[in-house]
Amino acid sequence: MKERQGGFLISKIKQIGGRKFDKILQERGVAAFNGAQGKILYVLWQGGSMTATEISKRSGLAKTTLTAMLSRMQEQGLIRAEENVGDRRSVLISLTGKAEALKGEYAAVSKEMEEIYYRGFSDGEIEAFEGCLERILKNLEEEQ
């Protein structure tokens, strides 16, 4: 049987894609956030205020990594931490106006990345591919 390389290929795509994302940000003069921070911003743009635990689950970032990143993003004026009225043991992370204003820039860079990723693919191939990725993600999440 042929050796499968899916995990290796996904890892390599993530590394090279992350570098390309950061390069596009630099080319566009977006210095307010990096690619890793963009992942957190994306989660907050999609879901609104949430706890660090929720951000960790939605982004796939480890809580230990996330804590340091959130602290830096707060220093940069991208997010704020507020008391969680529903659970005083946790805080809610929300976006600042500065971060909200960057949503269009992020969307433009994401669109450019999408065009690079899917160059030469048909709509059917993209749908099938993303369906496979969703199944892999589900399998991994069930193992956690």
| Bridge partner residues of 91 (DSSP) | 83
What pLDDT, on a 0 to 100 scale, did the predictor assign at position 46?
94
What pLDDT, on a 0 to 100 scale, did the predictor assign at position 47?
93
DSSP secondary structure letter of residue 78: S
18-27 LR contacts (CB < 8 Å, sep 24+) = 20/113, 20/116, 21/109, 21/113, 24/109, 24/112, 24/113, 25/109
Could you tell me if residue 30 is left (phi over 0), alpha (psi between -120 and 50 degrees) or otherwise beta? beta
Taking alpha carbons only, the member of 34, 36, 54 closest to residue 94 is 54
Beta-strand relationship, 91-95 and 79-83: antiparallel
What pLDDT, on a 0 to 100 scale, did the predictor assign at position 1?
81
Between the ranges 88-92, 123-127, 137-141, where is the mean pLDDT highest?
A: 123-127
Q: What is the token pair recorded at 27?
A: 């080319």
In angstroms, rounded to a whole number, what is the distance separating the alpha carbons of residues 93 and 72? 13
| Bridge partner residues of 82 (DSSP) | 92
pLDDT per position as a tens digit, 26-64:
998 888 888 889 999 999 999 999 999 999 999 988 888
pLDDT per position as a tens digit, 66-111:
999 999 999 999 999 998 887 888 899 999 999 999 999 999 999 9
What pTM was estimated for this model as a whole? 0.82
pLDDT-based confidence at residue 8 (cuts at 50, 70, 90): very high
Phi, psi (rounded to 5 degrees) for 87: -155, 100
